[in-house]
Amino acid sequence: MHTSSILRMQWFVDNYASKITKDEVQILDVGSYDVDGSYRHLFDESKYHYTGLDMEEGPNVDVVLKNPYDWDAIESDSFDLVISGQAFEHIEFFWKTMEEMTRVLKKDGLLCLIAPNGFGEHRYPVDCYRFFSDGMIALARYVGIEPLHAHTNCAPRKNDTDWYSETAADSVLIARKTFDGPPKHPNLKTYICVPPNQEIMRSGLIPYHQYARMLVLIREEGIRIRGLLHRIIKRLFKARA
């Protein structure tokens, strides 16, 4: 689990999960198998009750699925938070998994999904997809939940360098379920795509291109200062000659 993914899930905890006032908050982590880290430690407050779910037994796995697309062992409307990180790229039919995540989420529950926008191929056991903010919001629309936040390769501040990556970025979706039971799919015969306002959906986070521009300006200013110092030193040597 890379650092920027942990930071994004921590941001979700700080800005969304921590504001839940229930005494007990049931959490389901989809694709929880611990490969160089997990999200479990982010939910160490006593109110959180964390359950890790994956396709095989192993570290940080509490529930083993027989079928990634049919979770018959889990009742509908069971969890206050359903999270997943660095898993959807490895699921062939991830939209079906999204349906099950929505089904087991309680009404007014929150879903947080983190999936790669960049990275090279890494097969566990397959590597199928990459995601953008629009795709994350499309997933929320597909299952009928309300998108609250989405971003790709953004950070709270330009100097939060651990959040950014030129080649290994993530996309994030945070959404709320406003109904009980299974997903509510749109009528695709009449559906019209309305592009989301990404600036609003970013919730004030700063996109990578602004960070990259800042680095260019810093580099250009460094070149300018070095040139100025070089000219000053040259003049000093001339004056002494």
| CB neighbour burial string for 209-228, b if at least 16 within 10 angstroms, e if fewer | eebeeeeeeeeeeeeeeeee
> Do both 219 and 193 map to the same domain?
no
Domain residues for the domain of 221 are 207-241
Query: What total of structural domains would you count in the chain?
Result: 2
Query: Is the N-terminal amide bond of 186 cis, ω within 30° of 0?
Result: no
User: What pLDDT, on the 0 to 100 scale, is given for residue 222?
Assistant: 72
> Do both 229 and 183 map to the same domain?
no
**What token pair was written down for 88?**
């959807």
User: What pLDDT, on the 0 to 100 scale, is given for residue 68?
Assistant: 86
> Do both 140 and 241 map to the same domain?
no
> Do both 118 and 233 map to the same domain?
no
User: What pLDDT, on the 0 to 100 scale, is given for residue 238?
Assistant: 72
Which residues of the chain register pLDDT less than 70? 214-218, 220-221, 223-224, 227-228, 241
User: What pLDDT, on the 0 to 100 scale, is given for residue 1?
Assistant: 85
Residue 16 CB neighbour total at 10 angstroms = 16
**What is the CATH classification number for the domain harbouring 200?**
3.40.50.150
> Do both 160 and 225 map to the same domain?
no
Residue 212, CB-side half-sphere exposure with 13 Å CA sphere: 9
> Do both 200 and 235 map to the same domain?
no
Instruction: Specify the DSSP class assigned to residue 188.
Output: T
